[in-house]
Amino acid sequence: MIARRLLPIALTAILAAGALRAELAGDAEAGAALYGQCKGCHEIGKGAEDRIGPHLNGLFGRRAASHEGFAYSASMQRAGVDGLIWGFDTLDAYIENPRALVSKTRMSFRGIKDAQDRADLMAYLRSFSADPANIPEAAPTARGTDHTVDPAILAIQGDPEYGEYLSSECVSCHQADGSSEGIPSITRWPEEDFVVAMHAYRDQLRPHPVMQMMAGRLSNEEIAALAAYFKDLD
């Protein structure tokens, strides 16, 4: 949660700079311009259809991978089954770094790092959701929240020997040979993907209760150790 603690500092900086953009409220007009990055794959608005990605009408409040007729990745389907609902926090995290929330998503997008840009984009997306009564108005979309894992945490060199011991808890369910029947494979994963995924569970952005529990008691060093171990596991 270090990233969240950074928020007041960011706010202070913005306030000091006099950038009082309605307390960071999402600006749908600015979001419309930012949507240019999305529209190559996602249609939105009247008559929108699925293209490379699903159309984004009625996105808020929808369960991940629940839009009928679109062929989602297995990873996105699993996230939906696990209970991922598109709301402010989850969408914010997904747009910031798609793989933090859905490891093998087919959405090939580097993410938007600026919290204000994301707030703007979501304000725009929100205007196409059918039932805005279910969407909290100003409050949630007013704040940009940074979910990015602190670079200092990403830079921790994990101890693979410790990771090997810790991994014995993982392989009760996740098979060491990489099989993925019912439970996904976690072997040969890029270290950073592993770390951001575990932090997303620990922060309860990813919904799975077992994984939230498992990640919830791992320290930053332990997550790094596991990532270091699993990246080379055949």
Partner 1 sequence: MTLNRRKFIAVGAATAASLSAPHVLADNHGKPRVVVIGGGSGGATAARYIAKDSKGAIDVTLVEPSRTYFTCYFSNLYIAGFTDLEDISHTYGTLAAKYGINVVHDWAVDVDRDAKTVSLAGGSVLPYDKLILSPGIDFVEGAVPGWSVAAQNKMPHAYKAGSQSELLKAQVMAMPEGGRFAMVAPPNPFRCPPGPYERISMVAHVLKQTNPTAKILLVDPKESFSKQALFEEGWERHYSGMIERVGPDFGATNVTVDPEAMTVDIDGSVEKVDVCNVIPAQKAGRIADMAGVTDGNWAPVNAADMSSKADPDVHVLGDSAQQGDMPKSGFAANSQAKVCAMAVRGALTGSKVFPAKFTNTCWSLIAADDGVKVGATYEATAEKIAKVDGFISQTGEDAATRKATYEESVGWYAGITADMFN
209 binds partner 1 (CB under 8 A): yes
Q: Which listed residue (1, 2, 210, 232) binds partner 1 by CB under 8 A? A: 210
Structure tokens at 33: 């311009």
Nearer to partner 1 (CB atom), residue 151 or residue 182: 182
174 binds partner 1 (CB under 8 A): yes
Contact 128, 44 (CB under 8 A): yes
Name the minimum Å distance from CB 182 to partner 1. 2
Contact 148, 96 (CB under 8 A): yes
Q: Which listed residue (131, 151, 182, 234) binds partner 1 by CB under 8 A? A: 182
Reference 98, options 76, 77, 126; nearest CA is 76
Name the minimum Å distance from CB 79 to partner 1. 11
Distance CA 40, CA 127 (A): 19
Distance CA 233, CA 91 (A): 32
162 binds partner 1 (CB under 8 A): yes
The count of residues interacting with partner 1 (CB under 8 A) is: 31
74 binds partner 1 (CB under 8 A): no
10 binds partner 1 (CB under 8 A): no
**SS3 sequence of 143-172:** CCCCCCCCHHHHCCCCCHHHHHHHHHHHCC
Cα dihedral: 122, 124, 126, 130 (round 10): -160
Name the minimum Å distance from CB 231 to partner 1. 19
132 binds partner 1 (CB under 8 A): no
In degrees rounded to 5, what are phi and psi of residue 106?
-85, -5
214 binds partner 1 (CB under 8 A): yes
Nearer to partner 1 (CB atom), residue 41 or residue 104: 104
Nearer to partner 1 (CB atom), residue 137 or residue 232: 232
Reference 56, options 118, 147, 122, 151; nearest CA is 122
Q: Which listed residue (49, 68, 131, 177) binds partner 1 by CB under 8 A? A: 177
Reference 122, options 50, 30, 233, 13; nearest CA is 30
Nearer to partner 1 (CB atom), residue 134 or residue 180: 180
Which residues lie near partner 1 (CB under 8 A)? 78, 80-83, 161-162, 164-166, 168-169, 171-177, 179-183, 209-210, 212-214, 216-217
